[in-house]
Structure 1
Amino acid sequence: MRIAVTGSIATDHLMNFPGSFGDQLIAEQLDRVSLSFLVDDLQIRRGGCAANIAFGMACLGLRPILVGAVGNDFADYRSWLERHGVDCDSVHVSETQHTARFLCTTDENHNQIASFYTGAMAEARLIELQPVADRVGGLDLVLVGPNDPDGMLRHTDECRHRGIPFAADISQQLARMADEQIRQLVDGAAYLFSNDYEKGLIEQKTGWSDAEVLSRVGVRVTTLGPKGAVIDREGEPSLHVGPAPERGKADPTGVGDAFRAGFLAGLSWGMSLERCAQIGNLTATHVLERVGGQEYELRQQEFMERFTEAYGADAAAEIAPHIRCYHP
């Protein structure tokens, strides 16, 4: 299954605030917030939603096709991704802009406040998907991840026009994009990814109820943080998939991307939706245990042992012929 992952490619600047954001907010003055947080540290990591997802898929043994826009400062990052098995031949390199920057502060409760500098990502709107499909012999699925808004709309429209199934993953761009644009991104998606907060925001901004959203997409996947994930399809009962136990919490940045990586890997192997979510949950747990979206390592024996502990021997036997964890 040939999967193209479109979206942001960025450098993450990650900081920790040793307190609670909520304690600093005055309920009666939320219309004029003026705050500065003294953070404990700064860590610079490779990131961007599309790059994180592609990295995770490659670490599970696939060769995902990364599609996005970067600056001419991308050489080292490209080498890292290619060394881990990501196809970067369809990444557009800007002649004038730097690669995007993600600046995120996390409090002691793992709440996050973040800003995103677009940089070269704005040129994602220039990328056409058909040449990508021609180069690899066709595309079976395109994930349209958070990216330049015009780029997201273009890729969604092109998928519809060319009959390529697409997965909608608006996430960070929900706050930026207009209601009608969000409706365009969601309508007709084979898969719709969001967390539980974004689920409500999608319904609020589209004006569609949960049932109406389900009537417009194939599968709706909602991550619930420490509670796992829920999978919904029109006319069928919800399927709740429990989390994979973690061995500690370091930083939540990139956890959702890793879930998507595992889920898409499962789809490419023809797994059931339950198994897809289970693989996603365990991959996400590995990210939670490290600082940064690409700092984890998936080891074959350990991954299978942890999967068996979380979901049982029968489930593990189903995925065992496919999982080929890779880390150079």
Structure 2
Amino acid sequence: MRIAVTGSVATDHLMTFPGRISEQLLADKLDRISLSFLVDTLDIRDGGVAANIVYGLARLGHRPLLVAAVGADFHEYGRRLAGLGVDTSAVRVSETRHTARFLCTTDPDGNQLASFYAGAMAEAPDIDIAGVLDARGGADLVLIGADAPAAMLRHTRACRSLGIPYAADPAQQLARLEGAEIRELADGATLLFTNEYEHELLLRKTGWKHAEVLRRVGTWITTLAEKGSRIERAGEPAVDVPAVPTEAIADPTGVGDAFRAGYLASLAAGRDAVHCAQTGSVMASLALSAVGTQTYTPEPAHVRDLHRAVYATGLDAAPGTAARPAEGTPLR
């Protein structure tokens, strides 16, 4: 199964604040916030939602296609991803802009303050994904991740026009997108990914009722942090999938991307939605125990064993290799 992943590629600057961010916010001064945090650590890591997802997929034995816009400074980053098995041939390299930057401060409670500089991502709308896929033999699924809004819309329209199943994963861009844009992204998606906050924000900004979203998408997967995830489909009861316990929480950044990589890896292996979400939770737990979004090192056998230990499903093969549909097998 061929998976293409679109979205941001960035360099993450991850900082830790020893106090609690919430304690620095004054209820009667929220209209005039002026805060500076003296942080204890700074880690500079490779990141970006699309790159994080293809990293996880490659670690599980897949060869995902990365479709994104980057700067000339992406050379070493791209070489590392390619070495892991990611197809970087569709990456657009800007002649004038740097690769995007993500700056994030996290406190001991997992609260975060973040800023994102788009950089070369501003050129993502210039990518013709129809041409990209045609030149590379097509794709069975395209994940449309957080990116320049115009690029997200262009990719969605292309998938819809070509009849290619796609996963809508607007993530942080829900705050930027207008209701009509979100409706266009979600309507007809085979998969819709959100976290718990984004779930409610999507409903508010689209004006859709919960049942209406379910009528318009194939499967809605909502991650619920330490509570796991929820799978919803029209006409079926919601299914809650528990999280994998994690003893040491090092960094929550990129955990949702790891979940998506695990989910898609199991989907490509022909597994049902519950198994996919369970594998996503295994990957999320591994990512949560590492600082940075591409520093955890999941191996298919280890993911299989952890999945078996937590969920007792008795798997007989790793997520990246079991019962894989032939290339071109449709998802619907």
TM-score w.r.t. length of structure 1: 0.95
Quick check: 1:142–1:165 contact (8 Å CA) kept in 2? yes
Are the equivalent residues in 1 in contact too, given 2:102–2:114 (CA < 8 A)? yes
Instruction: Mark the runs of 5 or more structure 1 residues left unpaired by the alignment.
Output: none
TM-score normalized by the length of structure 2: 0.94
Instruction: Report the equivalent of 2:295.
Output: 295
- Corresponding residue of 1:225: 225
Aligned mates of 1:67, 1:319 — CA distance in 2: 23
Q: Which residue of 2 aligns with 1:203?
A: 203
Give the Cα separation in 2 of the matches to 1:197 and 1:124.
26
Query: In the alignment, residue 12 of structure 1 is paired with which amino acid?
Result: D
Deviations 1:206-255 (A, max 9, x none): 11111111111110000011111000000100011111122311000110
1:309 equivalent to 2:309? Answer: yes
- 1:19 equivalent in alignment to 2:19: yes
Alpha-carbon distance in 2 for matches of 1:205, 1:235? 24
Question: Which amino acid counterpart does residue 72 of structure 1 have in structure 2?
Answer: A
Counterpart Cα distance in 2 of 1:185 and 1:84: 30
Aligned pairs, how many? Answer: 324
User: Aligned AA for 2:188?
Assistant: G
Aligned mates of 2:322, 2:30 — CA distance in 1: 50
Residue of structure 2 in register with 1:259 after alignment: 259
Distance in 1 (alpha carbons) for counterparts of 2:270 and 2:39 = 44
How far the C-alpha of 1:322 sits from its partner, in A, is 2.5
- Which aligned segments of 4 or more residues in structure 1 are displaced greater than 4 angstroms? 315-321
Aligned counterpart, 1:137? 137
Give 1:117's aligned residue: 117
3-state DSSP of counterpart to 1:73: helix
Q: Distance in 2 between matches of 1:159 and 1:285?
A: 32
Cα distance per residue 1:13-65 (max 9 Å; x no partner): 00011111111111222222221111111100000000000000000111100
Which amino acid is the alignment partner of residue 75 of structure 1? H
Contact 1:105 1:113 (C-alpha < 8 Å) held by counterparts: yes
Letter in 2 for 1:87: D
- The range that moved more, 301-310 or 71-80, is 301-310
SS of the residue 1:46 aligns to:
strand
Structure 2 unpaired stretches of 5+: 325-332
Instruction: Tell me which amino acid in the other structure corresponds to 1:236.
Output: E
Kindly provide the amino acid, as one letter, of the partner of residue 32 in structure 1.
Answer: R
Contact 2:70 2:98 in 1 (8 A): yes
Q: How far off is 1:135 after superposition?
A: 2.6
Provide the secondary structure at the position in 2 that maps to 1:138.
coil
Letter matched to residue 191 of structure 2: Y
- 2:89 maps to 89
SS at match of 2:295: coil
More off after superposition, 39-48 vs 136-145: 136-145
Q: CA deviation at 1:316?
A: 5.9
More displaced stretch, 116-125 vs 174-183: 174-183
The yes-or-no answer on 1:177 pairing with 2:177 is yes
Q: What secondary structure sits across from 1:193 in the alignment? A: strand
Identity %: 55
Whether the 8 Å CA contact 1:15–1:39 is kept in 2: the answer is yes
Partner of 2:188: 188
**CA offset digits 1:232-287 (Å, max 9, x no partner):** 00010001111112231100011000000010111111110011001111011111
Q: Is the 8 A contact 1:61 1:323 kept in 2?
A: no
Q: Distance in 1 between matches of 2:235 and 2:294?
A: 37
Q: Is the contact between residue 60 and residue 265 of structure 2 (CA under 8 Å) also seen in structure 1?
A: yes
RMSD value over aligned CA atoms? 1.6
TM-fit CA distance, 1:323? 9.7
Contact 1:10–1:100 (8 Å) recurs in 2: yes
Aligned to 2:327: none
